[in-house]
């Protein structure tokens, strides 16, 4: 999954719960974190890890692969809602939304 594919699940808590169900994420975890594989860019694959597995590290390595924390999933919904009016007004595509969210994470958060 890439950020472009994830973006639809960040639209609301209801959508996020669909993601939890569809890919069987750990609902018992204190937090589920989205990490980008190899680098923070739009084409990077996203993997999900419980906070207990990563200790909330910004950079995390597993099986020789480096992952970079994007955000806790619940925070992703908050970020999306921050831009929701802008997204609706300008009728952003999912790729444009993903670019805007990633830009915010890398430069403003």
Length of the chain: 109
Which domain, by its residues, includes 82?
Answer: 3-107
In this structure, are residues 42 and 3 in contact, taking their beta carbons and an 8 Å threshold?
yes
User: Could you read off the pLDDT of 79-108 as tens digits, one per residue?
Assistant: 999 998 888 888 899 999 999 999 999 998
93 vs 7, 38, 80, 86, 87, CA distance in Å? 10, 25, 13, 12, 8
pLDDT interval class at 72 (50, 70, 90): very high
Q: Quick one: 67 exposed, middle or buried, by C-beta within 10 A (0-12, 13-18, 19+)?
A: buried
Mean per-residue pLDDT over the chain, rounded: 94
pLDDT value for 96: 95
User: Could you read off the pLDDT of 5-61 as tens digits, one per residue?
Assistant: 999 999 999 999 999 999 999 888 899 999 999 999 999 999 999 999 999 999 999
> Which residue, 96, 49, 92, 94, is CA-closest to 70?
49
Overall domain count for the chain: 1
pLDDT interval class at 109 (50, 70, 90): low
pTM: 0.91
Measured CA to CA, the distance from residue 94 to residue 97 in angstroms comes to 5
- If one counts every other C-beta atom within 10 angstroms of the C-beta of residue 101, the result is 24
């Amino acid at each position: 999954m890439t950020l472009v594919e994830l973006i639809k699940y960040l639209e609301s808590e209801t959508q996020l719960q669909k993601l939890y169900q569809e890919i069987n994420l750990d609902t018992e975890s204190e937090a589920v974190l989205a990490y980008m594989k190899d680098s923070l860019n739009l084409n990077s694959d996203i993997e999900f890890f419980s906070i207990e597995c990563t200790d909330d590290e910004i950079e995390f390595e597993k099986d020789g692969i480096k992952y970079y924390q994007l955000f806790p999933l619940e925070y992703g919904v908050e970020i999306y809602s921050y831009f929701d009016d802008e997204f609706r007004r300008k009728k952003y595509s999912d790729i444009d939304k993903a670019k805007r969210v990633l830009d915010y994470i890398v430069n403003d958060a």
